[in-house]
């Protein structure tokens, strides 16, 4: 499969399952609200799985490239990876499969449900001062047709209308708003799983419209990150020094 396509395909399938739960929740009055909670948990779980699968995909393709072109020097972070021995000893006829399984085992016991965790995994593939969830990259998403004001607290037009001297601070606030919004979504999933959506005394209220927005926001985040990762990975391999033949081999 082409780079990241399996991760995206699984995400889209799982998000459709979340929407099916949400759209059919009213058919079971006794469980309507809990079906909405399930829809939210499915959506956040799909997001978590996307980032874990994408990291394993990019990492395994990089290691496969090193295997094909051993003279290229990898960064220390990759050289110092502790790869599970069992993954490397598995018999397989599929090129690169052992690397993918090894990479997957590195992250399978963790969740990827904070911006710090996402940055920690993926910023290594980007220029140092312009990581995956850096201010300028995220604020660039404000101009995307699918972007909503609720995600950033402002629109791109509103920020562009400010005096130049005030735009940097406005972008910082927009990034903070964006990060806090997803922190709230991820925390709600945690509340549903660990205390049945009762973090204090009362069960938290939940409505279809709110769940719909959260699912849409998750889709926006993953789609934007996917586009960035898909565009960046070939450049990352080029920056490391891999030739076009190797890059083509590991991208399919």
Distance between CA 34 and CA 18 in Å, rounded? 12
Task: Tell whether 154 is covered by a domain.
Answer: no
Q: What is the pLDDT of residue 151?
A: 98
Q: What is the pLDDT of residues 85-115, one digit of tens each?
A: 766 666 666 667 777 777 777 777 778 999 9
Task: Tell whether 172 is covered by a domain.
Answer: no
Q: What is the pLDDT of residue 110?
A: 74
Distance between CA 60 and CA 250 in Å, rounded? 9
SS3 labels along the chain? CCCCHHHHHHHHHHHHHHHHHHHCHHHCHHHHHHHHHHHHHHHHHHHHHHHHHHHHHHHHHHHHHHHHCCCCCCCHHHHCCCCCHHHHHCCCCCCCHHHHHHHHHHHCCCCCCCHHHHHHHHHHHCCCCCCCCCHHHHHHHHHCCCCCHHHHCCCHHHHHCCCHHHHHHHHHHHHHHHHHHHHHHHHHHHHHHHHCCCCCCCCCCCCHHHHHHHHHHHHHHHHHHHHHHHHHHHHHHHHHCCCHHHHHHHCC
Task: Tell whether 236 is covered by a domain.
Answer: yes
Task: Tell whether 41 is covered by a domain.
Answer: yes
| Structure-token match 């502790």, residue found | 82
pTM (whole model) above 0.75: yes
Task: Tell whether 163 is covered by a domain.
Answer: no
Task: Tell whether 240 is covered by a domain.
Answer: yes
Report which of residues 107 and 239 the model is more confident about.
239
Q: How many folded domains does the chain comprise?
A: 1
Distance between CA 43 and CA 211 in Å, rounded? 10
Distance between CA 189 and CA 212 in Å, rounded? 14
**What percent of the chain shows pLDDT beyond 70?**
95
Q: What is the pLDDT of residues 174-200, one digit of tens each?
A: 999 999 999 999 999 999 999 999 999
Q: What is the pLDDT of residue 88?
A: 67
Q: Is the pLDDT of residue 229 over 70?
A: yes
Q: What is the pLDDT of residues 29-86, one digit of tens each?
A: 999 999 999 999 999 999 999 999 999 999 999 999 999 999 999 999 888 887 777 6
Q: What is the pLDDT of residues 13-33, one digit of tens each?
A: 999 999 999 999 999 999 999
Q: Which domain holds residue 18?
A: 5-146+179-250
């Amino acid at each position: 499969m082409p780079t990241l396509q399996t991760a995206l395909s699984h995400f889209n399938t799982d998000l459709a399952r979340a929407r099916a739960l949400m759209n059919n929740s009213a058919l079971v009055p006794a469980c309507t609200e809990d079906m909405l909670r399930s829809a939210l948990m499915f959506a956040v779980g799909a997001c978590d799985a996307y980032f874990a699968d994408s990291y394993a995909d990019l990492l395994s393709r990089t290691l496969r490239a090193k295997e094909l072109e051993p003279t290229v020097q990898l960064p220390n972070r990759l050289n110092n990876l502790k790869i599970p021995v069992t993954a490397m000893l598995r018999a397989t006829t599929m090129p690169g499969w052992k690397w993918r399984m090894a990479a997957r085992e590195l992250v399978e016991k963790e969740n990827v449900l904070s911006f710090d965790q996402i940055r920690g995994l993926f910023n290594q593939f980007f220029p140092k001062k312009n990581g995956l969830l850096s201010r300028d990259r995220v604020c660039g998403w404000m101009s995307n047709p699918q972007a909503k004001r609720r995600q950033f607290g402002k629109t791109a037009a509103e920020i562009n209308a400010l005096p130049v001297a005030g735009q940097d601070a406005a972008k910082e606030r927009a990034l903070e708003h964006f990060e806090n919004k997803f922190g709230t979504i991820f925390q709600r999933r945690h509340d549903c799983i660990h205390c049945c959506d009762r973090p204090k005394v009362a069960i938290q209220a939940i409505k279809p419209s709110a769940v719909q927005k959260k699912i849409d926001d998750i889709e926006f985040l993953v789609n934007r990150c996917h586009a960035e990762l898909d565009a960046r990975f070939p450049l990352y391999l080029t920056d490391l020094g891999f030739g076009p033949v190797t890059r083509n081999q590991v991208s399919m």
